[in-house]
Structure 1
Amino acid sequence: MKISEIKERKVIHRPIRYFDESGQRIYHAYEYHLPYNPGYKGNETERLFAKWIDMLPFGLIFYFLLHKVIVISILLSIPCVIIAGTITEWSWGTTLGKKIFKIKVLDDYGNYPGFLKSFQRNLLCLANFSPVFSEYTTRTIAMGRRTGTRVNFSMHMNNTICKTYIVKESKIPEIRDLLKYQGDQNLLL
């Protein structure tokens, strides 16, 4: 069983135009089996900060110990983070920055990614730093209507290509139970 094959049962109650004898609205129940999403909202920002935290020790080493210019230190820390991230995700499913945010990386089978898959997703993270600009509007009584620009970083391409998932550490037992339960259900069928 794979995470991408897990289905989640959702029941949605939609109102209809009729009422019962006591004046209560009548609802129809619709049942859907939707793909399970192990991720969570807001992980793009956490992943971006985690990547900067991973780069920080290497940048400091290049800057203070090897006396490189700060820009060169940052550029030299990128390949170091890719290599170190590959090894730590392969071994423990996390990096230093991800550990601070309590994030783990899982493959489609619910395990830590293999070495090549981890290397591929860490290499593809370079393409993830393309910002997506969007406009937003807020209304307040004091300031009226204000429009601004929001910058979001799309950090999903490497996970989509490698079929890996970014999950909270606390959600891993639930995912593994779902994999086991739905795998057993498929065996019974």
Structure 2
Amino acid sequence: MKISEIKERKIIHRPTLSFDGYGKRIYHAYEYYLSYNPGFKGNETQRLFAKWIDMAIFTLIFFFICNKILIVSILLSVPCVIIAGTVTEFYFGTTLGKKIFRMKVIDDDGNYPGFSKSLARNLLCLANFYPVFSEYTTKTVAMGWRRGTQMNFSMHLNNKICKTYIVKESKIPEIKELLEADSNKKSLPE
């Protein structure tokens, strides 16, 4: 069983226009089986900060120990972060920046990614910094409705291509349990 194959049962109660004898609204229950999402809300921001932490460490090493100028230190830190990220994700499922935010990288089987998959993820992280612009509208007391443009980074492209997931460390036992339960369910004869 793979994480992408897990289905989660959701029951949604939708109100109708009818009321019962006590004046309470009648609801219809709809049952859906949705794909399981092991991720968490706000992971893009945390992943961006984790990547900056990883880069800052190598930048400081090149700047203070190797006596390189700052821009050269930043440029040299990029390939170091890719290589170090590949190795640490392969062995430990995390990097130092991700460890601070208690995040792990797992593949579709629930394990740490293999070396080639981890290398592909880290090379594709360079494409993740492509900004996405979107418009937003807010209501202020003094100005009424106000429109603006905000910039977001799309930090999920490498995971989508490599079929990996960024999860919180605390959620890994739940994912393993779901994978085990679904594989046991499929192995039972009918």
The answer to whether TM tops 0.5 is: yes
SS in 2 for 1:68: coil
SS in 2 for 1:137: strand
Q: Which residue of 2 aligns with 1:131?
A: 131
Q: Tell me which moved more, 56-65 or 168-177.
A: 56-65
Q: Which residue of 2 aligns with 1:155?
A: 155
Q: Tell me which moved more, 38-47 or 64-73.
A: 64-73
Q: Which residue of 1 aligns with 2:30?
A: 30
Cα deviation, residue 153, structure 1: 0.4
TM-score normalised by L of structure 2:
0.96
Q: Which residue of 2 aligns with 1:80?
A: 80
Cα deviation, residue 34, structure 1: 0.3
Mapping of residues 2-81 of structure 1, within 5 Å:
2-81=2-81
SS in 2 for 1:166: strand
Cα deviation, residue 5, structure 1: 0.4
CA distance in structure 1 between the aligned counterparts of 2:33 and 2:184, rounded to whole angstroms: 18
Letter in 2 for 1:158: N
CA distance in structure 2 between the aligned counterparts of 1:111 and 1:169, rounded to whole angstroms: 12
For these two proteins, the number of residue pairs brought into alignment is 189
CA distance in structure 1 between the aligned counterparts of 2:3 and 2:160, rounded to whole angstroms: 13
Which consecutive residues of structure 2, in runs of 5 or more, have no partner in the other structure?
Answer: none
Q: Which residue of 1 aligns with 2:181?
A: 181
Letter in 1 for 2:82: I
Letter in 2 for 1:105: V
Structure 1 outlier segments of 4+, above 3 Å: none
Cα deviation, residue 23, structure 1: 1.7
TM-score normalised by L of structure 1:
0.96
Cα deviation, residue 140, structure 1: 2.0
Identity of aligned residues (%): 71
CA distance in structure 2 between the aligned counterparts of 1:135 and 1:21, rounded to whole angstroms: 47
CA distance in structure 2 between the aligned counterparts of 1:79 and 1:51, rounded to whole angstroms: 12
CA distance in structure 1 between the aligned counterparts of 2:108 and 2:128, rounded to whole angstroms: 20
SS in 1 for 2:166: strand
Letter in 2 for 1:122: N
Cα deviation, residue 28, structure 1: 1.1
Q: Tell me which moved more, 163-172 or 65-74.
A: 65-74
For 1:127-150, what per-residue CA distance to the aligned partner results, in whole angstroms no more than 9, with x for missing partners? 110011112121121343332221
SS in 1 for 2:160: helix
CA distance in structure 1 between the aligned counterparts of 2:23 and 2:138, rounded to whole angstroms: 39
**What is the Cα-based RMSD across aligned positions, in Å?**
1.1
For 1:20-67, what per-residue CA distance to the aligned partner results, in whole angstroms no more than 9, with x for missing partners? 222221111110000000001111111011001001111111111222
